[in-house]
Amino acid sequence: MEDQARGMPGHSGLSVLSQDGVGDPDDRRKHYNSVQPKEDIGDILQQIMTITDESLDEAQARKHALNCHRMKAALFSVLCEIKEKAALSVRGIQEEDPPEPQLMRLDNMLLAEGVAGPEGGGASAAAAAVAATAGDLSDDVSIEHADYREKLAQIRQIYHAELEKYEQACNEFTGHVMNLLREQSRTRPISPKEIERMVAIIHHKFSAIQMQLKQSTCEAVMILRSRFLDARRKRRNFSKQATEILNEYFYSHLANPYPTEEAKEELAKKCSITVAQVVNWFGNKRIRYKKNITKFQEEANLYAMKTAVDETGEHANSTQIGLGLKSGPHCEAAVLT
DNA sequence: GCGCATGATTGGAA
DNA sequence: TTCCAATCATGCGC
């Protein structure tokens, strides 16, 4: 811009002003005051001041007249120099922002939750993770799982729609400002660098808005997730049949009530529960049995009888799981104590 | 509503 | 990693 002004035909720009070897704006002002009639500058300033009050056509005509004015290049050069000095004093203030860790965290989280990134990628993984933590394949949980996915998809949709809207608004606004600045650069000194800086500022402002969007999206996902995960705590008793199968195994392996991985899987399958639930059940059972053997004695006898009957029956081995030895509870109860 | 039963969670030890 | 022990939270019978 400055170069443009300096190169204007019929004017020497700053060179004219610095012919006397003085670069100080005050000196230049004195110089102008002494050389040019005051009315000229006052007249131009007056025209600039009143330009906004006029119609567009009049303003355009006036602008054109100003552009062609013999003083234009000189004034432009002065403005350039003043601005250059002013810019030097503020340079460094608007340094590039360091990458915001908060924004990175939000981005990572949205990616992990499947809100950002490719559709279905993280979303299904996150949903699967939630399903895994729920640790149940019952209908109720399947329904909740579907519900979770549906709500997550809604959040995702809203997030992308808003994001797109922000991006569009940002681009429109940036384009508008750039055009405006380009237009203004004809009458006041605006370097391309300044335009770039302005664009960066606009982007920065819009990214702040985007961050708010990301933050509230994260919150929504967290609420949804916590609501769903809270459902995990909603305990439901196992079916009578499942409890029976587990008790049968426990009392028939009282000497070593630690099912192998295969046995756990087999029990889980038979009881329609997860391996984790089998593990929980045995953990609870062992500790509660140990704590109060006398209380469980009756139950132990009952299952011992049941096992004995099964053993003598035709399908004696059909209820056996794993490699544990079958024996009466009375002789083995002491192992846990 | 209360108390007990029971599945789930958590922190620490081995 | 697995298990124990304590604890939490909910289900269920009374």
Higher pLDDT, A103 or A51: A103
d(Cα A95, Cα A105) in Å, to the nearest integer?
A: 23
In chain A, the N- to C-terminal Cα span, in Å, equals: 91
Alpha helices in A114-234 (DSSP H): 121-134, 139-184, 192-230
Interatomic CA–C1' length for residue A337 and nucleotide B14, angstroms: 18
Task: Specify the amino acid at residue A83.
Answer: K
Examine the pLDDT at A262 and tell me if it is beyond 60: yes
Give strand letter and number of the nucleotide nearest A278 (CA to C1').
B7
Q: Residue A234's pLDDT band (boundaries 50, 70, 90)?
A: low
pLDDT of residue A280: 92
Positions 135-154 in A, CB within 7 angstroms of strand B: 135-136
pTM, 2 dp: 0.43
Closest CA to A209 of A165, A152, A158: A165
| Over residues A303-307, mean pLDDT | 81
Domain extents in chain A? 101-128+138-236, 240-312
CA distances from A334 to A136, A288, A289, A303, A317 (A): 34, 14, 11, 17, 26
Within 10 angstroms of residue A24's Cβ, the number of other Cβ atoms is 9
* CATH architecture, range A240-312: Orthogonal Bundle (1.10)
Closest CA to A81 of A36, A11, A25, A29: A25
CA A299 to chain centre: 54
A283 touches strand B (CB under 7 A): yes
Is A249 buried (19+), middle (13-18) or exposed (0-12) by CB count in 10 A? Answer: buried
d(Cα A19, Cα A185) in Å, to the nearest integer?
A: 26
Task: Specify the amino acid at residue A320.
Answer: Q
